[in-house]
Every structure is written in structure tokens, then in C-alpha cells.
């Protein structure tokens, strides 16, 4: 089992999160750093020398959330991990929910920590953030259906076999819509997808990476996903 942590300017959060993950789950961690100018990559290297279960993948430049996760997933698939977890590096996803996520994966190919199923929700969000998320998920459901309530959720556990079928090298999305593309591929492949209720909290330290380029990409890419056929290896 491994947790993939994409980072860009997350020095203020990284060490505390790595420590917290280790408190709640026995797992490896791979930090995928996009050449952060704040020294996140250097801190990641220090953590990898301190903790044998921490690994670091350095990328030459910032290319977006999607390519960072794809690099981390491909790195993990080259090694014998049976489950691959993704989560944000800013404590928006609670480390203490990791055991619940992994437990649910015993009966599912993909588990999504969901804000929009009974028991789930958000905390410390302003009205703009809440509106963007609600409208974004509604827009996705308009094209891709309601099999999944939280299409954009980024707290997930994939079974190895599912990721191996996804033709990751052909994933086109760069920003947050990457989450939708992989969930849609899982649906197309007939995977069993389960949503686990979580409380999603706004970041405490650092700056949000969500901006207009990601929103515009989502508006353009979702209809294309609907029109494209299934992608698989």
C-alpha cells in the first residue's frame, strides 16, 4: 500500500502530514514534487532519509495536478503495491480517515472520499468555494450521470488492477478535472466504485491551487470525456 502526495509549495504542511499519516496507517508514501520554489523538495528528501517508508519523485517543473498524480501512480505500479491512495497535502483530507478508506477498499475497486453522500460535507468553506464545487459536480453529472456523487473528490483508494487497466499515459486532463477523468474511466471499465462519507476542510496553511484555468479546463474537458470511448490498456 502507498499514499501518493503531489506537492507544489507545501513546505509548511508536508512534515506534519507525513507524521500524521504514519500515526494512522502503516503505509509507504511517495512525495511527487514539481520543483517547488519554497524548498518542499528539499524537505521531502530530508524526510526520506529519516523515514524508510518515505520516497521522493522530483519532477523538473509544475505541469498540473494530473501529470503529478500520473507520475506517482506509474512509479507505484512499477513496485508491488496492491492499493494506491491519493490525498491532498494540505490537511483538507483527514489522515484519520485513511483506515476507513482502506477498509472500504476490501469490497471496491475504487473508493472515493465523498462530500456529497449522507454523512459527508465541507467545513470552513466560503460561499464562492461551495458554489464552485456544487456547480462543478452538477455540471459533471449532467454529462456523465449520477453513478458518482462526488466526481471531483481527491481522497481516493485505487486497487492496483484498476489502475493497470486505465491506460494512464493517455490521460489528458491537467488540473482538478483529472479526478473526473479517472473516475469516468473506472465507470467505463465496469469497476465497483464506492463513496465513503468524509468531512472536507479548507486548507489552514498555504494557498489554494484552484483557479480559473482549472475551471475552464473542466468546462471544456467533461463533454469530450462523454463523447470519447473507453480508454484501456
DSSP β-bridge partners for residue 194: 111
Supply the pTM of this predicted model: 0.90
What is the pLDDT at residue 76?
99
- pLDDT digit of tens for each residue in the chain (233 aa)? 999 999 999 999 999 999 999 999 999 999 999 999 999 999 999 999 999 999 999 999 999 899 999 999 999 999 999 999 999 999 999 999 999 999 999 999 999 999 999 999 988 878 777 787 888 888 888 889 888 999 999 999 999 999 999 999 999 888 888 999 999 999 999 999 999 999 998 755 555 555 666 677 767 788 877 777 555 55
98 sits in which H/E element = helix 98-104
Instruction: Classify domain 2-227 at the CATH class level.
Output: alpha beta
Give helix 212-227 / helix 178-188 axis angle, nearest 10°. Answer: 20
DSSP 112: E
Q: Of 218, 82, 93, whose CA–CA distance to 163 is shortest?
A: 82
H or E stretch including 87? Answer: none
Between β-strands 121-123 and 199-201, what pairing exists: parallel, antiparallel or unpaired? parallel
- Residue 148: its pLDDT value, please? 94
Structural domain boundaries in the chain: 2-227
Amino acid at each position: 500500500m502507498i499514499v501518493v502526495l503531489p506537492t507544489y509549495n507545501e513546505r509548511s504542511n508536508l512534515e506534519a502530514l507525513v507524521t500524521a499519516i504514519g500515526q494512522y496507517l502503516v503505509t509507504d508514501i511517495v512525495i511527487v514534487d514539481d520543483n517547488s520554489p519554497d524548498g518542499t523538495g528539499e524537505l521531502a528528501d530530508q524526510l526520506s532519509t529519516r523515514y524508510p517508508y518515505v520516497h521522493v519523485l522530483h519532477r523538473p517543473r509544475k505541469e498540473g495536478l494530473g501529470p503529478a498524480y500520473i507520475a506517482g501512480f506509474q512509479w507505484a505500479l512499477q513496485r508491488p503495491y496492491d492499493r494506491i491512495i491519493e490525498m491532498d497535502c494540505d490537511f483538507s483530507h483527514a489522515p484519520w480517515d485513511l483506515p476507513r478508506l482502506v477498509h472500504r477498499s476490501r469490497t471496491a475497486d475504487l473508493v472515493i472520499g465523498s462530500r456529497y453522500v449522507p454523512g459527508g460535507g465541507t467545513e470552513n468553506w466560503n460561499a464562492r468555494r461551495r458554489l464552485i464545487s456544487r456547480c462543478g459536480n452538477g455540471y459533471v453529472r449532467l454529462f456523465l450521470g449520477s453513478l458518482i456523487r462526488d466526481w471531483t473528490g481527491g481522497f481516493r483508494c485505487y486497487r492496483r488492477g484498476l489502475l493497470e487497466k486505465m491506460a494512464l499515459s493517455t490521460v489528458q486532463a491537467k488540473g482538478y478535472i483529472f479526478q473526473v477523468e479517472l473516475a469516468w474511466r473506472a465507470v467505463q471499465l465496469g469497476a465497483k466504485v464506492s463513496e465513503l462519507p468524509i468531512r472536507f476542510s479548507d486548507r489552514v496553511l498555504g494557498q489554494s491551487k484552484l483557479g480559473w484555468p482549472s475551471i475552464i479546463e473542466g468546462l471544456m474537458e467533461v463533454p469530450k470525456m462523454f463523447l470519447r470511448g473507453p480508454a484501456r490498456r
